[in-house]
Amino acid sequence: MTLDNFLVGLLVDPVDYGELLYVESNDLLYNARRRVAYPVRDGIAVLLADEARSVDDDEHEALVHDPSGRPTGSR
Q: 18: Cβ–Cβ under 8 A, 6 or more apart, which residues? A: 12, 31, 33, 73
CATH of region 5-71? 2.20.25.10
pLDDT at 62: 98
Compute the distance between CA of residue 34 and CA of residue 41 in angstroms, rounded to an integer. 21
The strand pair at 21-23 and 28-31 is best described as antiparallel
pLDDT at 73: 85
- Return per-residue pLDDT of the chain as tens, 75 residues: 789 899 999 999 999 999 999 999 999 999 999 999 999 999 999 999 999 999 999 999 999 999 999 999 865
- Decide: 71 and 21 in contact? Cβ < 8 Å: yes
Where in the chain are the domains?
Answer: 5-71
pTM for the whole thing? 0.93
